[in-house]
């Protein structure tokens, strides 16, 4: 019997089966390839790590997304709140208890921001610790923690010129990129409005401004703010001329020099959390400070004193991450006619309600 036709049929059937299996496999792979493309936004389920660049310009690889972190940097804590990633915070420096609006009082304490307890941090088993670029101590946090498998992320998040880029890096680590872009767009809308109003001033001479910490002024210590300080940046954003703008850092000036410069505006800046801020409702201290400044033997001889152009602003509105908001208060004081329709308090309220997720309260500024 001739078996060639049967063999031919067998091989044809086998070939057909192989082709069917191949086609079936190809159909099954198609969706998988589509999924492999990933989501370019915030949802990347197969991603295990992410690379970011810290404030020192160094690349660091982190687990993705971060779900357990310790925060020593109060500015980073507020930025994490803006990103709606605060549930990942399991431990904080004790200084963060002062920032009551961040709602972190139930987190584990790990000591001071510049001298944390490494034993406590190890006990919490975080994926990362957020610190400032400078540890403000003799200790190197990275050398202590990274050999133990805990990443140290140095993001400042208080310098206006680098804040947006650092926020994007922070968002990348938590998978909150879109939230960061939404906030940056909101902030740009506000800063553009401020810049446009200042531009409308045209050729008008900028008002001259002297700024001093209340604690220094109370001691007769005329230590002011110059270049590379956020207060100087706020004055410039508001269209003012800082009389110490040609100096550096926090220079000590004398009364004779102040009288020569004759500032038109005197801004007192306080960082005292008992006197001003989110948890303060009594304005008595603020009233007394401004009243004493108006009667001061030196300030009363300047145009600022003679014309009662003395103002008090809480340092949190002139400390980097919110300097652009503080600049609205300054601009309103510097040029009331140009900013008649703008209420800085409403901008601050919008910040707290839309981005921090809490109602605005407290005393943040004062003028007679």
Q: What is the pLDDT of residues 80-119, one digit of tens each?
A: 999 999 999 999 999 999 999 999 999 999 999 999 999 9
User: What letter would DSSP give residue 363?
Assistant: B
Q: Which helix (H) or strand (E) holds 89?
A: strand 89-92
Q: Is the pLDDT of residue 149 over 60?
A: yes
Q: Which of 23-27, 115-119, 266-270 has the lowest mean pLDDT?
A: 23-27
Q: Is the pLDDT of residue 47 over 80?
A: no
Which tens digit of pLDDT belongs to each residue from 157-189?
Answer: 998 899 999 999 999 999 999 999 999 999 999
Token pair for 14:
């086998």
DSSP-derived 3-state class of residue 109:
strand
Question: Which positions ≥6 away from 30 have C-beta within 8 Å?
Answer: none
What pLDDT score does 45 carry? Answer: 58
pLDDT band at 33 (very low <50, low <70, confident <90, very high): very low
pLDDT band at 26 (very low <50, low <70, confident <90, very high): very low
Token pair for 20:
């069917």
Q: Is the pLDDT of residue 61 over 80?
A: yes
CA distances from 146 to 110, 142, 151, 179 (A): 17, 5, 5, 29
Q: What is the pTM of this model?
A: 0.86
Burial class (CB in 10 A: 0-12, 13-18, 19+), 146: middle
Backbone angles phi, psi at 224, to 5 degrees: -110, -175
**Helix axes of 177-199 and 74-82: crossing angle, nearest 10 degrees:** 100
Average pLDDT, the chain: 89
pLDDT band at 368 (very low <50, low <70, confident <90, very high): confident
One-character DSSP codes across 201-236:
TTTPPPPEEEEEEHHHHHTT--BB--BTSHHHHHHH
Q: Map out the domains of the chain with their CATH numbers.
A: 49-175 (3.40.50.1980), 182-367 (3.40.50.1980)
């Amino acid at each position: 019997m001739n078996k060639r036709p049967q063999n031919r049929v067998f091989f044809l059937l086998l070939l057909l089966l192989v082709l069917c299996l191949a086609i079936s496999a190809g159909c099954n792979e198609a969706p998988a390839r589509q999924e492999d493309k990933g989501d370019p936004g915030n949802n990347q389920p197969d991603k295990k790590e992410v690379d970011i660049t810290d404030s020192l310009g160094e690349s660091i690889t982190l687990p993705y997304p971060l779900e357990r972190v310790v925060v020593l940097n109060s500015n980073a804590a507020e930025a994490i709140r803006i990103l709606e990633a605060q549930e990942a915070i399991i431990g904080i420096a004790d200084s963060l208890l002062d920032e009551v609006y961040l709602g972190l009082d139930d987190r584990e304490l790990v000591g001071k921001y510049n001298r944390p307890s490494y034993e406590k941090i190890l006990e919490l088993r975080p994926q990362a610790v957020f610190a400032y670029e400078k540890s403000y101590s003799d200790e190197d946090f990275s050398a202590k923690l990274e050999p133990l498998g805990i990443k140290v992320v140095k993001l400042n998040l208080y310098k206006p010129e680098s804040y947006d880029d650092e926020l994007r890096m922070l968002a990348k680590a938590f998978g909150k990129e879109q939230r960061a872009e939404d906030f940056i767009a909101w902030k740009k809308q506000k800063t553009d409005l401020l810049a446009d109003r200042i531009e409308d001033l045209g050729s008008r001479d900028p008002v001259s401004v002297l700024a001093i910490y209340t604690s220094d002024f109370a001691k007769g210590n005329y230590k002011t703010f110059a270049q590379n300080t956020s207060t100087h940046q706020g004055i410039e954003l508001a269209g003012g001329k800082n009389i110490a703008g040609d100096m550096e850092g926090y220079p000590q000036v004398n009364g004779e020099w102040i009288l020569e410069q004759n500032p038109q505006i005197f801004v007192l800046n306080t960082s005292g959390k008992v006197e001003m801020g989110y948890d303060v409702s009594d304005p008595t201290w603020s009233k007394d400070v401004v009243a004493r400044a108006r009667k001061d033997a030196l300030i009363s001889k300047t145009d600022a004193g003679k014309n009662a152009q003395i103002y008090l602003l809480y340092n949190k509105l002139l400390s980097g991450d919110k300097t652009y908001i503080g600049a609205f208060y300054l601009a309103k004081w510097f040029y009331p006619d140009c900013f008649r329709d703008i209420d800085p308090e409403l901008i601050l309220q919008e910040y707290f309600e839309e981005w921090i997720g809490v109602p605005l309260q407290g005393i943040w500024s004062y003028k007679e």
